[in-house]
Structure 1
Amino acid sequence: MNLPKSEHPRLVIIGGGFAGISLARNLINHPVQVVMVDKRNYHTFQPLLYQVSTSGLEPDSIAYPIRKIFNKSKNIFFRLAEVQSINDKDNFLSTSIGKIEFDYLVIATGSKTNFFGNKNVEQNAMSMKSIPQALNLRSLILENLEEASITKDLQQRKRLLNFVIAGAGPTGVELSGALAELKKHVVNKDFPDLNMDEIQVHLIEGEDRVLPPMSKKASKNATKFLKKLGVIIHTNTYVEDYKDFVVETNSGKTFETETFVWSAGVGGAPVNGLKASSIIDKMKRYRVNHYNQVDGYEHIFALGDIALMQTKNWPEGHPMVAQPAIQQGKHLANNFKRTLKNQAFIPFTYFDKGTMATVGRNKAVVDLHKLKFGGAFAWFIWMFVHLWFLVGFRNRLVTFMNWVYSYINYDRAARIIVRPFKSKKLEMHDAD
């Protein structure tokens, strides 16, 4: 593998998500050679993927070239490659472009959709963990609307206009709210020949309330907002199967739909090669200590969604969201700086900055420890926070202008079928 020789130790990072970017940024121009490896050449701001899938934003608004992030640093290098395995004895990665040796390795591969072993759901449902998948979903939504406007088959039209989302966490709530607003403000203008009453958005949740990770007050507010938008909520309901365009549930209730989105679970995305004992089978996350070292290793670390750090306050590990990843990346960078000064590592402590989710225009919920509220003020806070953490001034500006345009005109400017999906239905999920 052709990399510049260096007198400094080489730190290889697998993954250009929140954790990997945070770590590398905090090591710019320090005496360590950093090599970031990712199968895509851009960083994705995943919290806004649902807006790409519902025509609110174009993908380049939430993606940023990794090389551009570090183009002013002298010690950080990027390689576009897919990691195939880790050799923990000889300290190298086997990748699609050859061998990459390391002194330290950081696994920051994030998460992927967890279908809990349901093969039919995995094969037939839509996921939304990457930009290609979000574009697939956008195309499918728009193609189904186009098809519904010309079909004379009443049963087929019902399937085409029935949108079903499994999982009422933040992603499911935000997606269902966005679909309901798309129907209310855009579809009725673009498709005047469609009966808006035939378009239904169903949100399925296995727990007894939406947004189970958040407070009961947030759940109550979110439920109120969703119902006001016309979303039909089904709690205490589990999806058991999806085949032949029919969603089957534990309650016996079925849904005929050609747009079924699975947002009911995520799991880690581990890499082949490390000791089997270092991975927690249930969630496919690496067990790490308080320094983010993978169980059984001193020179291999894991950050973010892929890392399971069990503490008194977080017995099941930190939540699989952006903040723990960002904080762990910064903290590990500081620990590496301490190593260069022959100082001992400091344990990581997560500072919980709260949780938030948006349902739609002037509708959001925020949990800030003891302070819990919803409505327009929560929505503005949600917008500010998401704009702040977007990478790049251009992305912040373009996203802000899109939001202002949509707010004033009740419009979604990105409703373009760039890459038809239905003709390529088999090219989806993890292949993306």
Structure 2
Amino acid sequence: MAKEIVIVGAGFAGVAAARKLGKKYKKDKTVNITLIDRHSYLTYMTELHEIAGGRLEPDAIKYDLRRIFHRLNNVKLVTDNVSEIDHDNNVVIGEQSNYKFDYLVLAVGAEPNDFGIDGVKENGFTLWSMEDAERVREHIIDMVYKAAREHDPVKRRALLSFLVCGGGFTGVEMIGELVEWLPILAEEHKLNPDEISFHLVEAAPKILNTVTEKEQERAMKYMRKKGIDITLGDGIAKIAEDHIELASGKKIATYTSIWTAGIKANTDASEWGVEQARAGRLVADQYMQAKGYDNVFVAGDLVYYEDPTNNNMPTPQIVQAAELTGDVAATSIISEISGTEKEEFEGKYDGNMVSIGSTYGVAYLYDKYSVQGFIAMFIKHAANVIYFLSIGSFYYAWLYIRHEFFTIKHKRNIFRGHLSAHGNILWLVPLRLFYGAMWLVEGLKKTFGMFGGQSWFEDEVVFPFPWLQEEVTSAASATETEEVVEVAKQIFSLNYVYGEEPMLVFDEMPGWFASIMEFMMPNQDVALFMQKMMSLVELGIGLVLIAGLFTFLVSGLTVVLVAMFCLSGMFVWVNMWFIPAAIALMMGAGRAFGLDYYVMPWLGKLFDGWIWGKPKHIYTDNIG
């Protein structure tokens, strides 16, 4: 009888568990895996502040589950909201259907904890979901819009006062985004940026309590330099519509209070019959097995496990811990099915990184390295890319790089916008036509002997390789050999000072490259075939570049060919412009008055559906 594994929650922990199980039982038809979430996508929670702060568009951090599991067809995807769990009958009860299970993983994550403070729900803005981030973003834009039309200077300053409650990672990252974004909005609405104020309030005596004092001081220094008013050791007592009140009695006028002061377990889980601990988290053992149940496991922010390898502290509610707990839960299920020994959870964390805006960050890595600024931000971006590669998604790794570096607005990344691509590719069209013409001319010279060139379709080897020229020497004079070498030297002699001989990039081939060429062209017969094929390739390159077809790939190919010609001792320095020209054309030059404008979108849709499957708003893989 088939084993049914159900995973509730497609966050970092749920995805980690589903991928491990999916890989293990990819070819085993006796094990079925179902992943249930109320969304059809994974929300990249660590970047929510970038959505709320106007740096990225919402779609940039919504990663479709079908694309993540496209190689694991045995993982069935379901978009549903789980309302109840029937442990007696081993059934997960959802709003759309019921799901029978032999093993269950609960990984529904956490939600904001307002600690019962007056006004948080009514007047505060939380930041723990995509909906939260979009609501904060819209509210901020609305406040600036209203301020631009407000004549009362006191109320205008209150409208332009932005406060974040909580000095943890989320709070610090959120205030960092606001400091960058609000001056941009102020300029767009012709407001005086000096009227904008930023406030960070933390009830504890310090911020960022998971890093060392060194990172805390650096973060404080940077934020104060940016004009952020920081209040420590004084918590929020009340949030009203137009102000907040601190425990000390101090009031701050603001219409924007973003609450990041704490989280608790998803309240839905409180009805699922598993023992709860602090902040509603579900108690589990070292195998992530829910207390009191043999076939139920807990993972992610939802789990409460006091880790003996970390001073008996509860597993932290961070991405690394979520993935580790998801992995352990999946491993435990595999052990249960196969009858092997289980593996205990061991908290090993690479470090903590926090960004304060798009260009500055602090990080503490491997319990000994403290970094800041560009390096810290680069490491954070690298860690995100590595995550996507670790779940087998080259698509989303590239998408992340594109969103963070190439399509970013207002210079809001660590390269200050130097990599942003918003230019008009129309201006690349003349270069594309000229570059294509150069290759076309070379192809015509070698194919038909036009433009004064020597045809490579004759029975004479033109490659200046010693092992080929030895054969020529035995049947021709030394003078004829020198003529062949001279022809090779003149292959790309299109531009140099009159009366001077152009300088070759390499006078002779490096030994390692000569070995490769001798393997590829061991004799004249092969060499004759290769030079004829090369002639046609150059002719084809010229034609497709002029037509603007597959410009990215073809331009990349020309870089490879030029490198090979250089190493072969057949390319001169004055024509090295071929390489930067090709790189420039790779930025979509074929999409302006070229066939790529029509062909690439069509191919994109074709291969997108073929490789990834069709993304949907709602998945019903396991609903009959």
Give the TM-score of the pair, scaled to structure 2.
0.62
Match of 2:219 in 1: 222
Q: Indicate if the aligned counterparts of 2:215 and 2:370 stay in contact, CA closer than 8 A.
A: yes
- CA shift in 2, pair 1:297/1:314, >3 Å: farther
Match of 1:286 in 2: 282
Q: Which amino acid aligns with 2:14?
A: G
Match of 2:298 in 1: 302
Match of 1:40 in 2: 39
Q: Indicate if the aligned counterparts of 1:188 and 1:196 stay in contact, CA closer than 8 A.
A: yes
* Superposition map of 1:216-255 within 5 A: 216-255=213-252
Match of 1:370 in 2: 368
CA distance in 2 between counterparts of 1:222 and 1:410 reads 25
Please state if 1:406 is matched with 2:400.
Answer: no
Match of 2:340 in 1: 343
Cα offset for 1:304?
Answer: 0.8
CA distance in 1 between counterparts of 2:315 and 2:60 reads 28
Q: Indicate if the aligned counterparts of 1:41 and 1:65 stay in contact, CA closer than 8 A.
A: yes
Q: Indicate if the aligned counterparts of 2:144 and 2:186 stay in contact, CA closer than 8 A.
A: no
Match of 1:396 in 2: 400
Cα offset for 1:325?
Answer: 0.9
Q: Indicate if the aligned counterparts of 1:56 and 1:412 stay in contact, CA closer than 8 A.
A: no
3-state SS of paired residue (1:279): coil
Instruction: Render the CA deviation track for 1:173-207: whole Å, top value 9, x for unaligned.
Output: 011011111234x2343133x12111001000011
Cα offset for 1:238?
Answer: 0.3
Residue of 377, 380, 398 corresponding to 2:378? 380
Higher RCO (CA-CA < 8 Å; seq separation 6+): 1
Instruction: Render the CA deviation track for 1:259-283: whole Å, top value 9, x for unaligned.
Output: 110000001115244446x101x31
Q: Indicate if the aligned counterparts of 1:362 and 1:377 stay in contact, CA closer than 8 A.
A: no
Please state if 1:50 is matched with 2:36.
Answer: no
Q: Where in structure 1 are there 5+ consecutive unaligned residues? A: 1-6, 414-432
Deviates more, 1:291-300 or 1:366-375: 366-375
Match of 2:189 in 1: 191
Cα offset for 1:41?
Answer: 0.9
CA distance in 1 between counterparts of 2:55 and 2:359 reads 15
CA distance in 2 between counterparts of 1:297 and 1:110 reads 19
3-state SS of paired residue (1:223): helix
Cα offset for 1:386?
Answer: 2.5
Deviates more, 1:24-33 or 1:392-401: 392-401
CA distance in 1 between counterparts of 2:408 and 2:217 reads 26
- CA shift in 2, pair 1:412/1:159, >3 Å: farther
Match of 2:573 in 1: none
CA distance in 1 between counterparts of 2:61 and 2:18 reads 19
Q: Which amino acid aligns with 1:357?
A: V
Match of 2:81 in 1: 82
Q: Which amino acid aligns with 1:22?
A: A
Counting matched residue pairs gives 403
Instruction: Render the CA deviation track for 1:212-266: whole Å, top value 9, x for unaligned.
Output: 2221111000001111111110001100111232211111111111111000000
3-state SS of paired residue (1:406): coil
3-state SS of paired residue (1:168): coil
RMSD in angstroms over aligned alpha carbons? Answer: 2.1
Deviation beyond 4 Å, 4+ runs, structure 1: 409-413
Residue of 241, 263, 271 corresponding to 2:269? 271
Q: Indicate if the aligned counterparts of 1:246 and 1:256 stay in contact, CA closer than 8 A.
A: yes
Structure (1/2) with the larger strand percentage: 1
Deviates more, 1:337-346 or 1:174-183: 337-346
Q: Indicate if the aligned counterparts of 2:351 and 2:363 stay in contact, CA closer than 8 A.
A: yes
3-state SS of paired residue (2:402): helix
Cα offset for 1:410?
Answer: 9.4
- CA shift in 2, pair 1:360/1:74, >3 Å: closer
Match of 1:425 in 2: none
Cα offset for 1:361?
Answer: 4.1
Structure (1/2) with the larger helix percentage: 2
Match of 1:15 in 2: 9
3-state SS of paired residue (1:271): helix
> How much identity, in percent, do the aligned residues show?
27
Cα offset for 1:327?
Answer: 1.6
Q: Where in structure 2 are there 5+ consecutive unaligned residues? A: 422-624
